[in-house]
Amino acid sequence: MILPFEDGKLVNISTDVEFSNIDGEFKVPLDAQSSFKLNLSLPQEGYLVAGELELNDDSSTTQVSLTNGPSDSNVSVSYMQSVTPFLALGGIGNYSTKSAAITRGFAGTYNDGENMLVTQWDNQFKFLYQRRVNPNRFHLNADVQVDEQGNSTATLGAEYILKQSRLQMSIDSNIQVRSVVEVNTGQGFQLQFSGDLGHLSGTARFGFGLMVG
């Protein structure tokens, strides 16, 4: 259930069909250029609490976040700076209390309106490409991830945006098929349905949501 407010505040609470995992998101704008977000996750085996402060100006974005769970706490700081109207570069630093180690990462984005490229390197390499075939109507996505051991996963996806609905679907190299359907009823309600089928693992998950506002 999502409850947006006119002043930018947001409350988002979701769960699965068996109510075994409850997630909550709360977002509060502090002023025109900063906001605070709190995320709560209550699975059966523990909890996770994350807070994030975001600061923006005309050419950069800074995020400071703190995450606390049953076995570890993390502090991270990220910064992205616009180099040209289409290109932005930045990095992230993360400290883990469990390992008492600092990790670093670097990222870059290119967006000219029709094409978007995103790359990120930390402990793994990520690459995302989106082609807006028909802006605000039809998009194609390609995603590649390579972890520390050299294992890679590739994903292809598509997004269709219609007058009162949105359809997102994807398939990855592990033959994991995912889809999300959002339907606007026109009465201030939005219905959301999702499905996740793992053909190699033999798993299937389905969910639903309701957005009010």
Query: Is 147's pLDDT higher than 80?
Result: yes
The pairs formed by 155-164 with CB atoms below 8 angstroms and a separation of 24 or more are 161/136, 161/137
Residue 140: which of 168, 179, 162 has the closest Cα? 168
What are the Cα distances from residue 201, in Å, to 43, 175, 198, 205? 22, 9, 5, 12
- pLDDT, residue 13, reads 75
- pLDDT, residue 1, reads 60
* pLDDT, greater one: 173 or 12: 173
How sure is the predictor about 38, in pLDDT bands with cuts at 50, 70 and 90? very high
- pLDDT, residue 64, reads 96
- pLDDT, residue 210, reads 78
Query: Is 46's pLDDT higher than 80?
Result: no
Which tokens is 121 given?
């390197």
- pLDDT, residue 123, reads 81
Q: What's the predicted TM-score (pTM) here? A: 0.70
**Which residues, listed in sequence order, are joined to residue 109 by a DSSP beta bridge?**
88, 118
pLDDT digits over 177-186, tens only? 999 999 988 7
* pLDDT, greater one: 109 or 191: 109
Query: Is 36's pLDDT higher than 80?
Result: yes
How sure is the predictor about 44, in pLDDT bands with cuts at 50, 70 and 90? low
pLDDT digits over 87-143, tens only? 999 999 999 988 888 989 999 999 998 999 999 998 889 999 999 998 889 999 999
Residue 171: which of 153, 155, 195 has the closest Cα? 155
Which tokens is 81 given?
């700076």
Instruction: Tell me the mean pLDDT in the region 130-157.
Output: 92
Query: Is 7's pLDDT higher than 70?
Result: no
How sure is the predictor about 20, in pLDDT bands with cuts at 50, 70 and 90? low
Q: Contact at 8 Å (CB) between 108 and 88?
A: yes
Q: Contact at 8 Å (CB) between 176 and 152?
A: no
Counting residues of the chain whose pLDDT is more than 70, the rounded percentage is: 92
The pairs formed by 97-102 with CB atoms below 8 angstroms and a separation of 24 or more are 97/72, 97/73, 98/71, 98/72, 98/73
How sure is the predictor about 16, in pLDDT bands with cuts at 50, 70 and 90? low
Q: Give the distance from CA 100 to its chain's centroid.
A: 27
Which sequence spans correspond to the domains of the chain?
Answer: 1-56, 58-107
